[in-house]
Structure 1
Amino acid sequence: MSVLKTIFTWWNGATTGIYFTIAKRGRFVGQDELGNRYYEARDTHDSYDRGRKRRWVVYKGYADASKVTPDWHGWLRYTFDEPPTIEPFVVKSWEKAHLPNLTGTIHARKPLGAISRGGERQRATGDYEAWKPD
């Protein structure tokens, strides 16, 4: 089944076609802690901007852009010239660790009153005043 997945589904990682493109046009740059692999084109032949080589990511597992860590996101978007493998990203002491977007997963936040938690919530407090049209 995994061979069919790589041929027909792009959302479960790279397709067979992208591996041919990588072999022909790209070079491996690095891998992040989530297992995503990053590539850069060997030349500017198919670039969108003059003088810039195309950069792309092959996701490990489900393709979701929120799984790209901040350091690699900066490299992909040309905020940083050097990839984090050469020039590591400096993390400030006050910054939180990167988390992918969990919306739509079983790990998503479910506040009180959410349908998945029964839909029951506390009544509104006295500081709420309903709007009434004049």
Structure 2
Amino acid sequence: MNIKRIEASETWQIRHEVMWPDQPFEFVQLETDNSGFHFGVFEDHKLVSTISCFIEGREMQFRKLATLTEYQGKGIASHLLEYILQFAEERDLEKVWCNARTNKRSFYEKFGMKDTYKTFTKAGQEFTVMEINFSK
């Protein structure tokens, strides 16, 4: 398992295939993609998982954590999430947060993230804001 920084455009196919296959391809392209940090996990030189991180002030939001279906359940997304939490700590950020699908809440809780119970619905999916604070 190899994690590398990648271009935003390299995330789009996995985002579309895994997260929003019923939406147009452009649906997964974020207006802020060019200002973010994007990381990918490679298995045998194949991109299998992606995540995008956006820093504003002392906070980082991560978005679009997605792993190809045939690679799910192997700890790849967990490894990638640990990587970006370390990335945030190295930059002395105070908080990391995401809009998590509510059915994935327990996944994020394993990493110390807390549910804020701020929920919303987008394209028929229910989300909740999850966060972790690093401030001392």
TM-score range, shorter chain: 0.3 to 0.5
More strand by share: 2
TM (norm. structure 2) is 0.32
Larger radius of gyration: 1
TM (norm. structure 1) is 0.32
More helix by share: 2
